[in-house]
Amino acid sequence: MNDTISKSCYDGQNKLWAHFQNKSPETFEDAKPRLDYILRAISRKKISDVLSVLNIGAGNGYFEERAKQSGWEIYSLDPDEITVKRLLEKGIKASKGHIEQMPFCDRSFDFVVASEVLEHLSDNQFRSGIGEIVRVMRNVGWFLGTVPYCENLSLNQVICPRCGEIFHRWGHKRSFDIRAIRDELSQFFSGAVVKRRTFVRFQGRGIAGTVKSAVRLILGTCGAEIASPNIFFVAKK
């Protein structure tokens, strides 16, 4: 891929992120159960009360705000300038940048989180990004995150009515199954736990809503596409 095409793809991806994060923040409401799960996973593995945590891809900033409330030293990396500014105004340490070239020193973080991020990367971006994650993690650090499970990328393809370009509506470039993500992570980390899971909300849903959430949770664990399952991973450096 030449530099012109790479820059064009980069600009398009950045525009997608900027749109959803700034124009449609409600898009990220359904992410709360998933992010809460990751926050709990970090809490179970923490080795001190004050943790240094990097979240890659801010979304609407929910993860950062919850981590800050927990007393953690939270950092955020996002390509969108407006999102970064909004986080900084809330007292959250945020930097503009991309996963492939992160503006952080070596061995800076106890935990690095990339939830629904890796599927946006090309093969080269993925390898460079994981290499950067390893670089900024401390020697006993952990990498946690999620990706969609066995996504059929073609089902979310749309066409621009002006230029005719076909693209994934969320900017996804890769699809993962459990074996694929485990094999990828094993090249960089000493151990990785990878499992299929659907993240659902139970609190405040009433009886009918609770039953629906329970059914979706079971279906997602079995890998049923209707439940929109994810792959959760946690890997140790």
Residue 6: pLDDT band by 50, 70, 90 thresholds?
A: very low
Residue 5 has pLDDT above 70, yes or no: no
How do the domains of the chain map onto residue ranges? 3-201+230-236
| pLDDT computed for residue 220 by the predictor | 72
pLDDT digits 0-9 by tens, 146-162: 999 999 999 999 998 88
75 in Cβ contact with 61 (< 8 Å): no
pLDDT digits 0-9 by tens, 85-140: 999 999 999 999 999 999 999 999 999 999 999 999 999 999 999 999 999 999 98
Per DSSP, the three-state class of 79 is: coil
CA distance 196 to 68: 28
Give phi and psi for 63, each to the nearest 5.
-60, -45
110 in Cβ contact with 47 (< 8 Å): yes
Per DSSP, the three-state class of 122 is: coil
Superfamily of domain 3-201+230-236: Vaccinia Virus protein VP39 (3.40.50.150)
Give phi and psi for 200, each to the nearest 5.
-130, 160
Instruction: Return the top range by mean pLDDT from 12-16, 68-72, 201-205.
Output: 68-72
Strand-pairing partners, residue 143, are 112, 235
Greater pLDDT, 200 or 12 = 200
| pLDDT computed for residue 85 by the predictor | 96
Indicate the pTM of the whole model.
0.89
Tell me what percent of the chain is helix, strand and coil, each rounded to the nearest 5: 45, 25, 30
Number of helices and strands (H, E) in the chain? 7, 9
CA distance 23 to 201: 24
